[in-house]
Structure 1
Amino acid sequence: MKKIIQTYFRMTSAVAPRFAGNQAFELFQRPLNKKVRAKELSFYKVAKSFTIKHYLEDIQCYELGNADGLMVLMVHGWESNAASMSAIALRLAEKGHHVILFNLPAHGFSKLKKVNLKICKEVFLEVINHLNPKQPFSIVAHSFGSAVTAYALSKTTYQVNQLIFLTSPNQITQIFEDFSNFVGLNKKAHQQLCKRAENILREPLDDIRVDGLSDKLQYNSLLLIHDAHDRIIPKTNSIDIYNQWPKSELLLLEKTGHYKMLWDEKVINRVTSELQSKGPNKSDKSLYALAF
């Protein structure tokens, strides 16, 4: 399938670059593998479910833990679902946190086929506005969900206590460059792909980078956890974010992988202890951490 896609876009880019760029953008918006894994299914049997109205479709939300505990919102990554965060969520619930998870559009059990950063941002904000937190809350996000979190929070004035990003892409321009190279777009087709994205987001792609958003967020601390050899999102993304966010800590781990880290006991313990140990006024920049 990969070779077929690459051959198609290389040929189409050569004769009709604008058409190729538009077609590539449509493909870019489609999560191709959104199957719920067997080990994730049990989460949906134990979590309390509820929905939030949205103009595209109802947002699928899930709740665990003590409703009077400190709230932790969890945001999953691309081609994943809320239950991918369940190992961490269940541990946090055991510790007395009020844990809220939701499926991004076109993920989980969603009937939608396409989604983009703008829609994910809107859904994120819809969830927060529905919850209407009266005190600072924390967020644990994975991969694409980390970028959604930072981008959405930059459009609000909500006060967040702790942010924990379990890997994060940084520059959206780099994401599009990687995608264009993967499918085989030429320069003109790539430019059309980016133009389509900018028309939807209504801002230049160069302005959308996580490492440049820290001064637009109300947050007390950020912990970045990244596998030093992550093959999906290179560690340089988290390093660049760490270098630009003043109230941040970076933890590089070994042998946790990209998705597997969500079930890794080291990661689960660190996330849990982080949310248990830091108070709402913790704001100092921690030292770069490298763990083997």
Structure 2
Amino acid sequence: MAIRLSNLFINALSTLAPQLMARVVFDKFCHPKRFARTKAETACALRGIKFIFKSGRVANIWGDDGSENQDLVLLCHGWESRGTTFYVLIDTLVAKGFKVLAWNAPAHGSSPGTKTQIFDMTSALIEDLKQQNLQPVAFVGHSMGGAMLGIVSKYISLPKPIIMISSPSQILPMFQKFFAARHLSKKVQALVFKKINQLGDYTLDEISLINCQLQHEQTALIIHDKTDKQVPFAEFEKLQTVWKKAQFHPTENLGHNRILRDENIATLITQHIIKHK
């Protein structure tokens, strides 16, 4: 009954005050939920070193041997996630001699803030990398963390091997899914999209992986599970039609997040980095 009344209220406000509703929805979308680390993640964090950027944002570093020429791998988490979710991959990479940095976006993990969105996350990542003069030999992104590559590539050079796990081919459908679950009118949706597209130098379509120049340049490994309920496997299939130089690896029964805890996937990623760095 409560859900029905809530939907009726949303429908009414969407019709009577679409501008107000668009502001409410946009503000809500820009406030990600923050979840606590699991025991395995906490143990992983304790094995590493906490690093605070000049911006105040937080990363964790593992495997630093103190040498200036040690290869660095950058890990970028997804929406409402955190860097330590890569704990299986982190251990695998460190075992092969890599220095690993798991970055926490604004309003995510241990980083400060309560409000962010994909353009803000991307500019924050670029700022932190530039300020510390970090030049990773590989970039690994999960979900939204992989989708961010479409924007990052427009501002800085990326390493040759990039790995995207469970990432959407286009950003727009992810927003549409969010809107559909909240029964928003088409007018409100259009207003929110307008707000989002005004946030950066590029539109959502222009930054999507399916359209970006990276597909012609990078040695990419793209991984996706057939049972992923958050980012459908169809997104992986769309990328297959345009990323002709990429290596595609479908999985079964690992879902959207459990895929990060699979040792075989961690080994596959590590081998790809070693081969192409």
Task: With the length of structure 1 as denominator, give the TM-score of the two structures.
Answer: 0.86
The aligned residue for residue 224 of structure 1 is 222
Residue pair 2:215, 2:243 contacting (<8 A) in 1 also: no
Pair 1:205–1:217, CA change in 2 (3 A): same
The aligned residue for residue 264 of structure 2 is 266
Residue pair 1:74, 1:141 contacting (<8 A) in 2 also: yes
The aligned residue for residue 279 of structure 1 is 276
The aligned residue for residue 209 of structure 2 is 210
**After superposition, what is the alpha-carbon deviation per residue over 1:22-69, rounded to whole angstroms, capped at 9, x for unaligned?**
111111111124332232111221111111122xxx110111114443
Give, as a single letter, the amino acid of the residue that structure 1 aligns with 2:45: Y
The alignment covers a number of residue pairs equal to 273
Pair 1:227–1:20, CA change in 2 (3 A): same
Q: Distance in 1 between matches of 2:194 and 2:149?
A: 23
RMSD: 2.1
Q: Distance in 1 between matches of 2:5 and 2:146?
A: 31
Pair 1:2–1:257, CA change in 2 (3 A): farther
Matches within 5 A, 1:167-182: 167-182=166-181
Matches within 5 A, 1:177-192: 177-192=176-191
The aligned residue for residue 22 of structure 2 is 21
SS of match in other structure, 2:255: coil
Pair 1:279–1:224, CA change in 2 (3 A): closer
The aligned residue for residue 61 of structure 2 is 63
Q: Distance in 1 between matches of 2:102 and 2:4?
A: 36
Give, as a single letter, the amino acid of the residue that structure 1 aligns with 2:175: F
Q: Does 1:88 align with 2:98?
A: no
Matches within 5 A, 1:37-186: 37-54=38-55, 58-67=56-65, 68-133=69-134, 137-156=137-156, 158-186=157-185
Q: Distance in 1 between matches of 2:3 and 2:38?
A: 23
**After superposition, what is the alpha-carbon deviation per residue over 1:180-212, rounded to whole angstroms, capped at 9, x for unaligned?**
111111011111111111121243333231111
The CA deviation at 1:110 is 3.1
**After superposition, what is the alpha-carbon deviation per residue over 1:242-262, rounded to whole angstroms, capped at 9, x for unaligned?**
322232011111011110111
The CA deviation at 1:161 is 2.1
Q: Which runs of 5+ in 1 are unaligned?
A: 281-292
SS of match in other structure, 2:79: coil
Pair 1:244–1:183, CA change in 2 (3 A): same
The aligned residue for residue 237 of structure 2 is 239
The CA deviation at 1:124 is 1.3
Q: Which runs of 5+ in 2 are unaligned?
A: none
Task: With the length of structure 2 as denominator, give the TM-score of the two structures.
Answer: 0.91
Residue pair 2:150, 2:208 contacting (<8 A) in 1 also: no
User: Larger deviation: 256-265 or 38-47?
Assistant: 38-47
The CA deviation at 1:168 is 0.6
The CA deviation at 1:3 is 6.0
The CA deviation at 1:217 is 8.1
The CA deviation at 1:178 is 1.1
The aligned residue for residue 32 of structure 2 is 31
SS of match in other structure, 2:202: coil
SS of match in other structure, 1:41: helix
Residue pair 1:154, 1:216 contacting (<8 A) in 2 also: no
Give, as a single letter, the amino acid of the residue that structure 2 aligns with 1:183: R
SS of match in other structure, 1:23: helix
